[in-house]
A and B are shown apart, each in its own frame.
Chain A
């Protein structure tokens, strides 16, 4: 469904991403692993349109989306979370989630001004829906708190709920468990798995916690220095000698 072929990105002579190809099927799950600086997030940025690729192309359901503006790609159903949290700190938890559903609501100025019954109804429906999502990620009791007042674990769950409210076909998660202890990490991944199963969406996850990830996805690629060094089932990738070497090398350093 989502397919990237030979994507290259260079920053002033340094090749951050060098010929990366990947694919994920509808309802499929793909894990991306690799040491810091191996080009994982840059690859994400290319997929979501934030970073322009020097070469290569990205297709979604057969349609070429290379170089489209980020908000257009998002409207096609490709929604992401960020490695460094990017909530809307001065909005409430509920408003953050509602913003995720932005595209479903009528946005014409005159309709919002006059608010015919349909528009008012849509807003009510959205609020209920957002409340239900918050229930799902166990944040219902913080609904009217400001996002900036949440704990770290709560912000991660809020970001997930916000992304889910955009009804993605493909959800891209950039290190959803970063900075968490094992128990919290497992909880989040459980949540993601439950959500994915319920909604039947495709998932691409960048993650450092390789064992947890391996249990979770049905295919995996490993990046090092901007190149794909291994691709296949989680088992194949984790055992691949170059992956082992890359991770050992990182630990040695």
Chain B
């Protein structure tokens, strides 16, 4: 059914998803791909909030953490199966997002930036200090592997199939949302709240909805992360991670699904490529990232793959390839 609806690009995507781990045998490369895919889910979540709905959140890593801790604790302390943990992680992060955004978005949307920073800080303090529940700074080790209907993902290739499967479903679902009335309402709110209101769009509802969905995706990513690294610790979800996630969404392209994919691949891949390379470049990394954000905002606020029409040709080609893999009628 999936194939019938989405046509050959989805089929090609599925074939690639199955084939990549069979062709790439280097476990390290596969691991890097797996982490990139987890961050791609995070970047898509951030992108829904920032790119499609125009809100700045600076605490995405905290929702990532809510998902990771929910999943890890349910698995370790209560022996829940992975799929249940995964669902609960999305639910918990989404609930946190809804509860946070509902009161503040009624008031003014730049409060959201503050409130997400506050939440991130409180999240860190709570997981670090509530030792009885989270084991605090010791971290939560021994999280079981991902397991689906009795089949356990043991090798990096098998983990790739699970994470890649989730990413494909996420992209498919988000594409459906943003190409229909819901996505248009988000974009309308982003571009002009008053005009959106005058057309009958409930602005607060649209914002809370976008924020909550972004947080649900972060929760899912958190669950995958916890069961891939098999440990969670408080400092894995600190402010720096939030900044990296935001950079992924912006670099790839705001309001662009292939963009988030590219952004995550670049932001995870480049530091890996530089790992044993030039130390200067690594020290300069935050500054380079910052300069990139600045330059993008001035010259190309739509990101590498955003608003494709006016992108340089080589990016057009690249994006056409990426887009062909995952979505049929992406608009930008």
**Chains A and B directly touch (beta carbon < 8 Å):** yes
On chain A, the residues within 8 Å of B5 by CB distance are 115
In the complex, are the beta carbons of B200 and A75 less than 8 A apart? yes
Interface residues of A in 96-155 (CB under 8 A from B): 98-100, 102-103, 105-107, 109, 112-113, 115, 119, 123, 126, 146
**Are A102 and B185 touching (Cβ within 8 A)?**
yes
Evaluate contact between B197 and A70: CB separation under 8 angstroms.
yes
A106 to B302: give the CA distance in the assembly, Å: 29
* Stretch from B188-196, B226-234, B277-285 that touches the partner: B188-196
A89 adjacent to chain B (CB < 8 Å): yes
B298 at the interface (CB under 8 A from A): no
| Chain B residues touching A, majority SS | helix
Restricting to B143-192, which residues have a CB under 8 Å from any CB of A?
173, 176-177, 180-182, 184-185, 187-188, 190-192
CA A213 – CA B320 in complex, angstroms? 50
Cα–Cα distance between A126 and B198 once the two chains are bound (Å): 19
User: B244 → chain A, closest Cβ, in Å?
Assistant: 25
A interface footprint on B2-19 (CB within 8 Å = 1, 0 otherwise): 000100000000000000
Instruction: Give every chain B residue within 8 A of A91 (Cβ-Cβ).
Output: 184, 187-188, 191
B7 CB, min distance to chain A CBs, angstroms: 14
User: Is there contact, CB below 8 Å, between A102 and B194?
Assistant: no
> Across the interface, which residues of B come within 8 angstroms of A99, CB to CB?
184-185, 187-188, 196, 199, 201
A51 to chain B, nearest CB (A): 11
Contact A82 to B185, CB < 8 A, known contacts A92-B331, A113-B177, A115-B176: no
A175 at the interface (CB under 8 A from B): no
- Within 8 Å CB of B192, what residues of A? 86-88
A54-84: which residues lie under 8 A (CB-CB) from chain B?
69-71, 74-75, 79-80, 82
Interface size of B in residues (CB-CB distance below 8 Å):
30
- Is B202 interfacial (CB 8 A cutoff)? yes
Cα A80 to Cα B198 in complex, Å, equals 6
- CB contact between B202 and one of A71, A87, A166 (< 8 Å): that residue: A71
Q: Once the chains are docked, how many angstroms separate the CA of A82 from the CA of B199?
A: 12
Residues of A within 8 A of B194 (CB): 50, 70, 82, 86
Residues of B within 8 A of A98 (CB): 181, 184
Q: Decide if B135 is an interface residue (CB 8 Å cutoff).
A: no
Is B328 close to A, CB under 8 A? no
Contacts of B197 in A (CB 8 A): 50, 69-71, 74
**A162 within 8 Å of B by Cβ?**
yes
- Say whether, besides A91-B191, A113-B176, A113-B177, A166 and B184 are in contact (CB < 8 Å): no
Does B307 sit at the interface, judged by CB under 8 A?
Answer: yes
Checking B176, B180, B191, B209 against A89 with a beta-carbon cut-off of 8 angstroms, the contacting residue is: B191
Report the minimum CB–CB distance from B151 to chain A (whole Å): 26
| Chain B nearest Cβ from A235, distance in angstroms | 32
A79 pairs with B187, CB closer than 8 A:
no
Contact of B33 with A by CB under 8 A: no
Set of chain A residues within 8 Å of B302, measured between Cβ atoms: 90
A146 contacts B188, C-beta separation under 8 Å? no
Q: Across the two chains, which residue of chain B brings its CB closest to A119? A: B180
The answer to the question of B203 belonging to the interface, with a C-beta cut-off of 8 Å to chain A, is: yes
* B264-303 Cβ-contact flags toward A at 8 Å (1 or 0): 0000000000000000000000000000000000000010
Contacts A71-B201, A90-B307, A102-B185 known; A82 to B331 CB distance under 8 Å? no
- Bound CA span A109–B191, Å: 22
Residues of A within 8 A of B181 (CB): 98, 102, 105-107, 112, 123, 126
The docked-state distance in angstroms from the alpha carbon of A88 to that of B187 is 8
- Chain A interface residue count: which class? 35 or more
Minimum CB–CB distance for A161 against chain B, Å: 12
Shortest beta-carbon distance, B61 to chain A, in Å? 25
Partner of B203, one of A71, A80, A103: A71
B173 near A113 with CB under 8 A, answer yes
- CA separation between A106 and B182, bound complex, in Å? 9
A48 interface residue per 8 A CB criterion: yes
For B203, the closest partner residue in chain A by CB is A71
Say yes or no: is A207 at the interface (Cβ < 8 Å to chain B): no
Determine if A95 is an interface residue (Cβ-Cβ < 8 Å): yes
Known contacts: A103-B200, A112-B182. The answer to whether A82 contacts B187 by CB under 8 A is no
Give 29 pairs: A residue, B residue, CB < 8 Å, sorted on A: A50-B197, A69-B202, A70-B198, A71-B203, A74-B197, A79-B198, A86-B194, A86-B195, A87-B192, A87-B195, A88-B187, A88-B196, A90-B187, A90-B190, A90-B255, A90-B307, A95-B184, A99-B184, A99-B199, A102-B181, A102-B201, A106-B181, A109-B209, A113-B173, A113-B176, A115-B5, A115-B176, A166-B199, A166-B200
Q: Give chain A's interface residues, CB within 8 Å of chain B.
A: 48, 50, 69-71, 74-75, 79-80, 82, 86-92, 95, 98-100, 102-103, 105-107, 109, 112-113, 115, 119, 123, 126, 146, 162-163, 166
Binding site for A on B (CB under 8 A): 5, 173, 176-177, 180-182, 184-185, 187-188, 190-192, 194-203, 209, 255, 302, 307, 309, 331
Besides the contacts A70-B198, A71-B199, what 14 more A-B pairs have beta carbons closer than 8 Å? A48-B198, A69-B202, A87-B191, A87-B195, A90-B255, A91-B184, A95-B187, A99-B184, A102-B181, A102-B188, A107-B182, A112-B180, A126-B181, A163-B199
